[in-house]
Amino acid sequence: MQALTDSLGRIHTYLRLSVTDRCNYRCVYCMPAEGMSWMPRQDLLSYEELGRVVGVFATMGIQRVRLTGGEPLVRRDITRLVRVIADTPGIRDVAMTTNAHFLAPHADDLAAAGLTRLNISLDTLRADRFHRLTRGGKLSRVLDGIDAARAAGLVPIKINAVVMEGENDDEVEDLVEFFSRHAADTELRFIEYMPFEARWHRCVPARRLRERLARRWTLTPLRQVAGEGPGSGAGPARTWRIEETGLVVGFISPITEHFCATCNRLRLMADGHLRTCLAHEDTPSLRDLVRSGATDADLEAAIRAMVMGKPWGHDCQLEGGEVFEGVMTSVGG
């Protein structure tokens, strides 16, 4: 099997698969309050098409697949797709990023279908603030979803908190305290705000957050090994252990500490566009190839050509540079 590499020699083993651009929340950092133009349903890849494309990717060395959105749980019968992907030869890890609003009644079925891990978005522990930041979300639903995931054995659970200056950055220590009680099966990750289309909020640098936590707790950096940290299938987080509680805290810093040089992930948008870099939207559509009768060999050749043209990375900076193209909900994270 020939590895799926780009012109810089980066080997790709991780596919983020957006199954819909729709979401039941409208988080302030993810999409505008109004004016969204959703993808027509007929433009979305069907589960059969997604299964076929994943199978082609697996023959080229993709081993990990993460289902994203939008919110993946708003797509009907998502457990069927989880089962198809989990049964694909070569795929050894099937994860999902979700806001957990609909998770509680589906956690057991997802685990039975072959889902192995969950990342859950949770930016605040204050119900009123949660309602405001998500434009209508209910915090209790998310917390119930987390409990259900834990009961279903979908652990370790990674909690993703996007930190925005003046919005929720005063809760960093509160989040650490809250999830420290579940240190055995939970990792808390702080993510730098990434501006799409416009700078709606201000990013809080990861280094500043680490310095804040270090004033209160003892942070020990964890050595990055195979399967962990930047450049691995586990994602770009740099992790520390809080010695007093045992909680692992990760920092994902795409703005102030770029990890483009070791990027091993690809993003397939819900309409079949393969986004080789989060920052660039000008991608061809695999959907069109699939629906025009392309063979698996044709798909492989097209994918390899797209990946070979993957850019070095993005030019978004803390101040200045280019913002990310598109809207996060349609890109798939």
pLDDT single digits (tens) 149-158: 999 999 999 9
Domain that holds residue 60: 14-331
Question: Does the pLDDT value for residue 294 go beyond 70?
Answer: yes
Q: Is 276 left (phi over 0), alpha (psi -120 to 50) or beta?
A: alpha
Query: 10 Å Cβ neighbour count for 28?
Result: 19
Give 206-262 pLDDT, tens digit per residue. Answer: 999 999 999 999 999 997 543 443 333 345 789 999 999 999 999 988 766 666 777
Give how far the C-alpha of residue 292 lies from the chain's centroid of Cα atoms, to the nearest Å.
30
Query: Would 270 be classed as within a structural domain?
Result: yes
Query: Would 6 be classed as within a structural domain?
Result: no
Number of structural domains found in the chain: 1
Give 9-20 pLDDT, tens digit per residue. Answer: 999 999 999 999
CATH number at residue 228: 3.20.20.70
* pTM for the structure as a whole: 0.89
Query: Would 5 be classed as within a structural domain?
Result: no
DSSP string covering 107-161, please?
Answer: HHHHHHHT--EEEEE---S-HHHHHHHTTS--HHHHHHHHHHHHHTT--SEEEEE
Query: 10 Å Cβ neighbour count for 302?
Result: 18
Query: Would 153 be classed as within a structural domain?
Result: yes
Lowest mean pLDDT among 40-49, 109-118, 194-203: 194-203
Distant-in-sequence, close-in-space partners of 128: CB < 8 Å, separation ≥ 6: none
Separation in Å, CA 254 to CA 36, 64, 106, 236, 313: 25, 21, 32, 9, 10
The amino acid at 283: T
Mean of all residue pLDDT scores within the chain: 88
User: Is residue 255 within 8 Å of residue 313, measured between CB atoms?
Assistant: no
Distant-in-sequence, close-in-space partners of 183: CB < 8 Å, separation ≥ 6: 242, 245, 246, 247, 248
Query: Would 261 be classed as within a structural domain?
Result: yes
- Bridge partners of 67, per DSSP, are 17, 96
Give 46-58 pLDDT, tens digit per residue. Answer: 999 999 999 999 9
pLDDT at 201: 64
Q: How confident is the model at residue 189 (pLDDT cuts 50, 70, 90)?
A: very high
Q: How confident is the model at residue 333 (pLDDT cuts 50, 70, 90)?
A: low
Query: Would 242 be classed as within a structural domain?
Result: yes
Cα–Cα distance between 54 and 14 in angstroms, integer? 11
Query: Would 65 be classed as within a structural domain?
Result: yes
pLDDT at 197: 55
User: Is residue 216 within 8 Å of residue 243, measured between CB atoms?
Assistant: no
The amino acid at 299: L
Query: Would 303 be classed as within a structural domain?
Result: yes
